[in-house]
Amino acid sequence: MLFLIIKRILLGFITLFIVSIITFVGTEILPGDACTTYLERQAFGEQLEACYRRLGLNVPAYERYVSWALNAIQGDFGYSLSGEMPIKEVLGPRIKNSLVLASAAIFIGIPIALILGIITALWRDKLPDVAISTVTIFAMTIPEFISATLLILIIAIWLEWLPGIVIVPTDVSFLELLPNIILPVVAIAMIMTAHMARMVRSSVIQVMASEYVQMAILKGVPYWKMVFKHVLPNALLPAINVVALTIAWLLGGVVVTEVVFNYPGLGRLVIESISNRDLPTVQALAIILASIYVSINLLADLLTLMLNPRLKTLQIRK
């Protein structure tokens, strides 16, 4: 078991290493570099040389990669080009903001998804299922930039209940941020919840049709006891991985939603730094997003492993 965990963590690091190389090589291959972008039309002769020296771009690429990677491991991603600020400082509040947004969506979305999924499965083909399923399928099909725009139109512009876009500075306190994040959270949570509720529904239905549930009924186990003891533990286990995938997918959703709402998070930073050709920042963001992705999936695998008696004992025996 321990060996397996270590192996998975090592694999995670290898994945990150590969991602870092791909992003580094990617930024190298692109025509132009930080200095040509920065100096624009003055990018020639003495000035360019000086810039290269200042930014350390005159040494071979692999040396730059090694020194960048060594610093990155310690959390130092170098300087952002546009603001000439340490990237670490740029990232800090952005990560916090995105984390607030994503975790709010997750903590609201997952319980609702579970409840909806279970209700629709247990009352399969009855009124509650038909009603909820219609809504979830509808929610699934609308991309978040449309639902976000609609939310702004209805809630912010017509009803004027909440601010439509976020115009607070990056480093405000949580309480000041709160009214601003409600709409983005709803936009993200809606599609995610709908996806998860569908997954949970089909998983519960599958288990309800299994022979062991029929056996439990024939054993005389009362309905709700059967649901909680025999159905849900087995139905929700595969759902853990689905949730992990959904959260990973959320990273993409966050980028789009943040841009629509002008929300000062990681997602908007990605778009900004790409359009500014701020390559060091792009590199740093790629690594950070990849590590989030890897660690969420790792967490889900470990959780499944711990909860599934079948996998657990299998590993111990081997």
Contact residues for other proteins, defined by CB under 8 A: 209-223, 229-230, 233-234, 237, 308-310, 313
The phi, psi pair for 121, rounded to 5°, reads -75, -40
In single-letter form, the type of residue at position 143 comes to P
Burial class (CB in 10 A: 0-12, 13-18, 19+), 82: middle
Closest approach, Cβ 222 to other proteins, in A, equals 6
Biggest alpha carbon–alpha carbon distance for the chain: 88
Closest approach, Cβ 198 to other proteins, in A, equals 21
Question: Angle at Cα 252 formed by Cα 197 and Cα 305, nearest 5°?
Answer: 55
Q: Choose between 69 and 311: whose C-beta lies nearer to other proteins.
A: 311
Residue count (the chain): 318
Beta-strand ranges (E) seen in 181-273 are: none
Closest approach, Cβ 224 to other proteins, in A, equals 11
| Strand partners of residue 86 | 79
Q: Choose between 138 and 212: whose C-beta lies nearer to other proteins.
A: 212
Closest approach, Cβ 287 to other proteins, in A, equals 29
Tokens, residue 260: 């629509």
Residue with tokens 């000041």: 176
Q: Choose between 85 and 314: whose C-beta lies nearer to other proteins.
A: 314
- Nearest alpha-carbon partner for 98 in 242, 250, 240: 250
Q: Choose between 114 and 190: whose C-beta lies nearer to other proteins.
A: 114
Q: How many Å apart are CA 109 and CA 252, to the nearest integer? A: 16
H or E segment to which residue 212 belongs = helix 211-218
Q: Tell me the HSE value of 263 on the side-chain side, using a 13 A CA sphere.
A: 34
Closest approach, Cβ 209 to other proteins, in A, equals 7
Closest approach, Cβ 301 to other proteins, in A, equals 18
Q: Choose between 47 and 214: whose C-beta lies nearer to other proteins.
A: 214
Q: Choose between 6 and 61: whose C-beta lies nearer to other proteins.
A: 6
Closest approach, Cβ 232 to other proteins, in A, equals 10
Q: Choose between 54 and 229: whose C-beta lies nearer to other proteins.
A: 229
